[in-house]
Amino acid sequence: MGIQQIIFAFILFVSFVVAYTAYSSLYRNIKLGKDFDPGGHEGERWKNVLLIAFGQKKMFKRWIPGLLHFFIYAAFLITQIELIEIMIDGLFGTHRLFAPYLGGLYTFTISFIEILSVLALFATVIFLIRRNILKLPRFTKVEMTGWPFIDANLILFGEIALVAGIFMMNGADIVLQQVDPEHYHQTGFFAISGWLGPMLFDGLGKNILELIERSGWWLHLITVLLFLNYLRHSKHLHIFLAFPNVFFTPIKSRGEMENMPSIMNEVKSMMGLASDTSEELSDEDLEFGANDVFGLSWKNILESYTCTECGRCTDVCPANTTGKVLSPRKIMMDVRDRADEVGCKIDEGKERYMEEGLRGKGEKLSKANFNDGKSLFDYISREEIHACTTCNACVEACPVLLNPLDIILKMRRYEILTESAGPQEWLPMFTSLENSGSVWQIPDDRDAWSKSE
């Protein structure tokens, strides 16, 4: 085994170990939430995976950014073919292992990858201009300052590095096939590097050409491995998580709100209607809604990590458009940040993050006994959740089927039903509903009209 193979195997091993640790913590963070059942309709949910997650269907509601995004997405998928060859070559010390066996198909495949790479490069440059020069409003909201702004640009520059690596590697290789045909198998004329390589590298010595070819090879590989490990901390997790998130999205009306059977039975009882006694309130039911990630479902938390931060939800939100503080995108980002904070503190394992009555008893810190004195309300203000009109515009606009409204409703339920709090102007409505079953403060019962002669 040569020195390059040893270095390659070591880098590959370390990268996958680090990635495994990072993604294990991600899974743990998602499971901080309550159990969730998406229901049946598996066939429909698989259809959504094909059309929405894989086929990018909802992205094309805005066809220009949708098409540009598709260029990058398609290049990312198809380039994995060349990455597989790079991995095998690196481990076994071969060079373009697939070329002798695939012949013309190999030439077509690499040419197709190169064309997609050029399109992806074009889209990347446009996206950089949109974010940094044109500064589109949805990319300059307050929640997009700092790390989110840097994160978006880092990925775009990483895409440029990937494309540069491909053309350095292929371009120099094309010239080396003429200089040293004994060691560099003829691959045919590649669509881009077939003319770009000779234009840039023709006339260079063999050693320089090999240096360029190996530099491109390593640049592409290292960028991919860095991307793999960086992804855990980036909004670009949606590249992986969009698929399970779409699959576990229930097939039901997007405007349908989750019912609370225990509350429904209490209301039925008040109205003299038959109720399901199996859903009677117990001491454990005294907390309604969610004030922290533990009160959300694991699907809610999965959605927060799936968020692409594209801002389409905030862009169509009527509350945000009229100057209110609500931003559905920020809601998702805040849930993700809180889940990360809780996960990091659980990893620390310090007793000060444990329920006070359980400290000093030798218990290990876990989600069951966690209490750091903070909640989602430290991230998401009450003014934000009060501003929501529950119009579902954000839900409809999301290209990967996220539901910020569900999180807002759960936090509202906690505030109103558990804390007996809420905006002062809402209290007369609640009182009227309790007394007469109507949101309007009128002295007659709601069904009085039906009793009149």
pLDDT of res. 183: 84
| Phi, psi for 297 (deg, rounded to 5) | -85, 160
pLDDT of res. 123: 96
d(CA 100, CA 236): 36
State the amino acid at position 229 in one-letter form: N
Tokens of 225: 């491995």
Would you say 320 and 314 are in contact if contact means Cβ atoms under 8 Å apart?
yes
d(CA 74, CA 68): 10
Q: Which of 308, 180, 338 is nearest to 238 (CA)?
A: 308
The CATH fold of domain 287-440: Fumarate Reductase Iron-sulfur Protein; Chain B, domain 2 (1.10.1060)
| Phi, psi for 93 (deg, rounded to 5) | 75, 20
pLDDT of res. 281: 53
pLDDT in tens, 377-432: 999 999 999 999 999 999 999 999 999 999 999 999 999 888 888 888 888 888 88
Torsion-angle region of residue 59: left (phi > 0), alpha (psi -120 to 50) or beta?
alpha
Tokens of 222: 């290292």
Low-confidence ranges of the chain (pLDDT < 70): 1, 270-271, 275-286, 444-446, 452-453
Residue 254: CB atoms within 10 A of its CB come to 13
Q: Which of 384, 237, 257 is nearest to 324 (CA)?
A: 384
DSSP, res 363? P
String of DSSP letters for 281-346:
--GGGG--S-SSGGGSBHHHHHHHHH-----HHHHH-HHHHTT-S--HHHHHHHHHHHHHHHHHHH
- Residue 96, CA atoms < 13 Å, CB-side half-sphere: 23
